[in-house]
Amino acid sequence: MKYLLQFDFPFSGPFGDAFFNAMQDLAKDIATEPGLVSKIWTENEETQEAGGIYVFDNLDDANRYLKKHSERLQSFGITDINAKVFNINEELSAICHAKLD
């Protein structure tokens, strides 16, 4: 079974190319997280939000990363963090073209 971890939080930027440039090192670090299958980075300049959708191959690593990233965001002064872990129904997700490997 795989697990989805969803984060969103208030974010005043940067966005777009500047976001890419600012976050490359963090992305490389996140890519080495134990149990991580993938991450989709999210941003919305209009609503001043950012976040991510993560897929982990086990619940322990998903919960560990939830704690780690929540603490990281709080250290940056970010509050109102919304974070949840979900079980992924892999069979239904595959019908809808999900790539979970």
pLDDT, one tens digit per residue, over 45-99 is 999 999 999 999 999 999 999 999 999 999 999 999 999 999 999 999 999 999 8
Q: Is residue 30 part of a domain?
A: yes
Domain that holds residue 10: 3-95
9 burial level (CB within 10 Å; 0-12, 13-18, 19+): buried
Tell me the C-alpha distance between 50 and 12, whole Å.
9
Q: Is residue 33 part of a domain?
A: yes
Residue 101, pLDDT score: 78
Average pLDDT over residues 6-25: 96
CATH of the domain at 42: 3.30.70.100
Which single residue is written with the structure tokens 């509050």?
79
Q: In this model, does residue 100 exceed pLDDT 90?
A: no
Q: Is residue 50 part of a domain?
A: yes
Split into its structural domains, the chain has a count of 1
Q: Is residue 101 part of a domain?
A: no
* pTM, 2 dp: 0.93
Amino acid at 33: E
